[in-house]
Chain A
Amino acid sequence: MTAPAASAPAAPVSGLLDRRLLFFTGKGGVGKSTVTAAAALLAAERGKKVLLVEVDAKGDVAALFERPQVGFEPVEVHPGVHAMQMDTEASLREYLRLNVRVPVLGRLGPLASMLDFVATAAPGVKEILTVGKVCWEVRESVEGRADWDLVIVDAAATGHVIAQLDSPRAIRELVQVGPVRAQTEWMVELLADPAITALNVVTAPEEMPVSETIELVARAREQLDVPLGCVVVNRVLPEPFTRTDEPVFAALRTPAGTAALTDELGAGAPAVLDATALAVTLRRSRAVHLTELRRSVDVPLVYVPYLFVRDHGLRVTRMVADALGEELGA
């Protein structure tokens, strides 16, 4: 565990991976896709068969497992992890095939431009096709017709996720009759079941991600029936020094201290001290936001340390999975 004051109770998150449907949202740039992929990897390593659904991102999820881009059909990207990319047009075709007998389908012409039209005109259509597909996979599994133990969704970013998860209810209100309305009923129920579903937020200890997270948690409570799981705080920098060690570092930063260290180590000593000072101030400026988050959010916080890397791949996914594993408990 990296954050020393991580005092949030562990119990509420310990069963997180035992649910059937986990959504992960977060502001752009906080590492949402990596954390989502890591959760899938962790669940798979604990023996679960996982479907990882990429909704909003740019087709990068397979790259986090060092595999080529995937499409709408799930592909095994790692032992126990199948990944798919959401495609609302494919989802609509599947829906029509399974639920509505539409003999004229072939004569409809470009389904894509029709979908564009309907989705543009009717709020929630793209969202329902996304959430609908995900819910359908979960229901099939719960009822034994598909074998996903867990469906993990790399969901829309914070600005859009409420609309996405609320779409079954929104559509139910807009559409008075017809099969779509009936379909939304069970989706609303499944999404609201705390034994099945959880919405998780990925964030970083910086101003904008933290304020978006606080806002999102409040809005989710107010507007959604979807239960909240945890807030994953990504990129937490370690506190370099304890209170007793701080004065020693301060003494080294004085001209006399730096000169003495330079005598012992050569010309590189100031650079080392500067780097450490940067780490201290970065940690300190982030601590404020971390405190704010802890104070304002009553959802369990899970910490993932800052990784000193600059690119992503299976190695980083595994490092994050290990960190999540420690935090979530067995």
Chain B
Amino acid sequence: MTAATANLEAVLATREIVIFCGSGGVGKTTTAAAAALGTAVRLGGKVLVLTIDPARRLAHALGLEGLGNVERQVPPELLRTAGLEPRGELYAAMLDTKAGWDDLVLRHAPDEETAYRILENRMYHNVTGRFVQSHDYIAMERLFDLHASGTYDLIVIDTPPTRHAIDFVDAPARMAEFFGGRLLRWLTMPYRVGGKRGARFMSFASKPFYTMADRILGSQFLQDIAEFFLLFQTMYDGFVERARAVERLLHDRRTGFVVVTTLEGAPLREAEYFCDALVERKYHLSALVLNKALPESLRSADGWRAAEVLVHDAEAIATKLVDRGIEGIDDVEPTTRVLRTAGETFRSFAIVATRERELRDELERIPDAVAVVPALEDDVHDVKGLAAMSEHLLGG
């Protein structure tokens, strides 16, 4: 990537899918929403933000409350009220894992009856609700569908809060592996192969497992599980094919990844690990967003000197200020308190800002495009806030 294109705006302009990832609490959802808004406003086209778990006020701001799986346009009036003149259209949707799974079953089951048997299976609800990486997989599925529909010029998605941020890109492959796994076939075999031959074969291969599982869990439980997986296996071919297609799309040049982090130790380590893992897996790591960064002015040497004086000589400075007769500054005692507090506050924040800078210098080399978003005064919770954030993300 050349220097001229190395910014987030260029990434958003050239990719068809941009995936925002990072560890919990770094502002991923808000960043993704702000990037989508900024793209729709500045670059035009139809932009969709697919979000996982937005804060209530943000969901409200985007008109997402109670929408479930349906995409909806953010009303242009709402954008204009916030002082924006959008060139394109902004759409938003939330991810509903349960509905996503049901769609999947209906699509891939060999016939309607099997589909309904799966949907009614006692295990199905538990498994899809808590499946290892269930959310991740459904998010990727839905992304694939929306992209294939060709409706949107750009789809921006924020990723589910997984234990390790990298998990979700592996989800399609893992899902295919799981349903095609030898282990699964082996385990469900006694239920698939009837008659004497099956029983004999079972006693040979999987009996120890069943003996133990029976003793620990009870056989009814195990049978329920087996039936569920047997039903699920009928979907195998469609499922695996689909998972592979999703994986190809994620690897495609049209898909870019943006890693979001704050300048704190743990999220930064996670971000670094994530950048490495993406590159290693040959995904397109496009940009890094450093969120909630403290202002540069905190690292000014003049500021530090001024703060030192205030901490040590607040009273002398206060006396001089009161002598000047400035309106509102007429009492030495509270003025001293305020000046000392200001000096102490600057020093505290300056230390943090310096550490942030050090961490940032160590990290900045990774992707070419880096966007820095300052610590904003309030939580971003409306279109105006998102617009302000998008200015920092996309550049002034």
**Partner-B contacts on A (CB < 8 A):** 27-30, 56, 58, 60, 96, 100, 102, 104-105, 107-108, 113-114, 116-123, 157, 159, 163, 174-181, 206-209, 211, 240-241, 244-245, 247-252, 254, 256-257, 260-261, 264-276, 278-279, 281-282, 285, 308-312
Chain B nearest CB: distance from A132 CB in Å? 12
User: Are B328 and A117 neighbours in the complex by a CB distance under 8 Å?
Assistant: no
Interface range on chain B (Cβ under 8 Å from partner): 35 or more
User: Are A260 and B26 neighbours in the complex by a CB distance under 8 Å?
Assistant: no
Given A281-B377, A312-B266, is A272 in contact with B338 using a C-beta cutoff of 8 Å? Answer: no
Chain A residues near B352 (CB-CB < 8 A): 308-310
- Of A102, A104, A272, most buried by chain B (CB within 10 Å of CB) is A272
Chain A residues near B178 (CB-CB < 8 A): 120
Given A241-B341, A265-B309, is A275 in contact with B298 using a C-beta cutoff of 8 Å? Answer: yes
Chain B residues near A58 (CB-CB < 8 A): 163-164, 270
Q: Which of B208, B270, B381 contacts A108 (CB under 8 A)?
A: B208
Interface of A, helix, strand, loop or mixed by DSSP: helix
Given A104-B212, A251-B329, is A123 in contact with B263 using a C-beta cutoff of 8 Å? Answer: no
Cα distance A273–B303 when bound, in Å?
9
> Which residues of chain B (197-219) have a CB below 8 Å from chain A?
208-209, 211-218
Cα distance A109–B270 when bound, in Å?
34
Chain A nearest CB: distance from B318 CB in Å? 9
User: Are A265 and B57 neighbours in the complex by a CB distance under 8 Å?
Assistant: no
Chain B residues near A247 (CB-CB < 8 A): 328
Given A118-B213, A241-B341, A285-B379, is A27 in contact with B303 using a C-beta cutoff of 8 Å? Answer: no
User: Are B123 and A180 neighbours in the complex by a CB distance under 8 Å?
Assistant: no
User: Are B346 and A276 neighbours in the complex by a CB distance under 8 Å?
Assistant: yes
User: Are A276 and B302 neighbours in the complex by a CB distance under 8 Å?
Assistant: no
Question: How many pairs, one residue from A and one from B, have CB atoms within 8 Å of each other in the complex?
Answer: 224
The 3 A-B residue pairs whose C-beta atoms are closest, nearest first, are: A29-B25, A28-B24, A251-B328
> Which residues of chain B (124-153) have a CB below 8 Å from chain A?
126-127, 129-132
Q: Smallest CB-CB separation from A160: which chain B residue?
A: B130
> Which residues of chain B (11-59) have a CB below 8 Å from chain A?
23-26, 55-57
User: Are A260 and B338 neighbours in the complex by a CB distance under 8 Å?
Assistant: no
User: CB-CB contacts of B168-183 with A at 8 A, as 1s and 0s?
Assistant: 0000000000100001
Chain A nearest CB: distance from B220 CB in Å? 6
Chain B residues near A107 (CB-CB < 8 A): 208
User: Are B209 and A28 neighbours in the complex by a CB distance under 8 Å?
Assistant: no
User: Are B229 and A240 neighbours in the complex by a CB distance under 8 Å?
Assistant: no
User: Are B161 and A28 neighbours in the complex by a CB distance under 8 Å?
Assistant: yes
User: Are A268 and B213 neighbours in the complex by a CB distance under 8 Å?
Assistant: no
User: Are B217 and A175 neighbours in the complex by a CB distance under 8 Å?
Assistant: yes
Cα distance A35–B161 when bound, in Å?
21
